[in-house]
Amino acid sequence: MKKISIISGGSGGLGLSIAELLVESGKDVLILGRNIEKLTRAARKLSRISKGAHVSTLVCNIGNEGDVSNTGKFLKDHKIVTEYLFNNAGRGQFSPAIASTSEMIDNVFEANLKGMILLTSEILKITPEKVELTIINIMSTSALLGRDQETIYCASKWGARGYTEALRTELKGTKRNIIAVYPGGMKTDFYNVTGQNRDISGFMDPKEVAEKIVHAVLGPDKLVVTDITINRKK
């Protein structure tokens, strides 16, 4: 069976930077995203730098159980097993606590928590127990501390962190490795939220953050990194 690395939210930002490093190292990748045009552009870019690695794309809203099931079916039909799952997709919400609405909560939790759970569950279900699988849950430093104007966002990320810790405990002693990643702010489209006017000029370059993550994930087989916090130098 062929092995592949899956990156959710892989059509731009940190996800695309991770995909670039993976294909440069010879890893076949499958990038998931909601927008077919963005996925197509990303695939073209990855194919140009690929060193023999195969690049696949799939339209998938990871918060939609049907889409996630279709992803699992795609992998099974093509006899592909997942070697690395990068749970990278996410959505921000920056507003005062008193402005919270049901729609805001659903949108943020779907991308940041529900989607992570659904996709991880599907990959675990279809990956043979004898095959080693590494799951990389990319969250945020907002999963480690509370922040002003980020009540909903922090709640979703703290939930993702709780899920990650519980998953690690449940899968202890199996061929499943769980890596938690907590990056600080990056210069991506993530902050292009309606009403936001945030200066991100001093934030981290997603390519440099991706290098830290991929270097740790693809490190020596005898060593396992469990938690990574990435911040910019003061």
Q: For 108-147, how does the pLDDT look when each residue is reduced to its tens digit (9 = 90+)?
A: 999 999 999 999 999 999 999 999 999 999 999 999 999 9
Distance (Å, whole) CA 142 – CA 67: 28
8 A C-beta contact, residue 96 and residue 156: no
Look up the domain containing 180 and give its range.
Answer: 2-230
Residue type, 129: E
pTM of the complete model: 0.94
Sign of CA dihedral 188, 190, 194, 198: negative
Span 198-203, average pLDDT = 76
153 is catalytic: yes
- CATH assignment at residue 75: 3.40.50.720
Distance (Å, whole) CA 71 – CA 30: 10
| Percent of the chain whose pLDDT exceeds 90 | 83
- State residue 194's pLDDT score: 47
Query: Could you tell me which residue, 149 or 5, shows the higher pLDDT?
Result: 5
Question: Of 84, 153, 182, 191, which residue is the catalytic one?
Answer: 153
Whole-number average pLDDT of the chain: 93
- State residue 83's pLDDT score: 97
- What are residue 140's phi and psi, to 5 degrees? -175, 155
Overall domain count for the chain: 1
Residue 227 confidence class, pLDDT cut points 50, 70, 90: very high
- Dihedral of CA atoms 6, 11, 12, 18 in degrees, nearest 10, equals 20
For 60-104, what is each residue's pLDDT tens digit? Answer: 999 999 999 999 999 999 999 999 999 999 998 888 999 999 999
- State residue 193's pLDDT score: 57
- What are residue 33's phi and psi, to 5 degrees? -165, 170
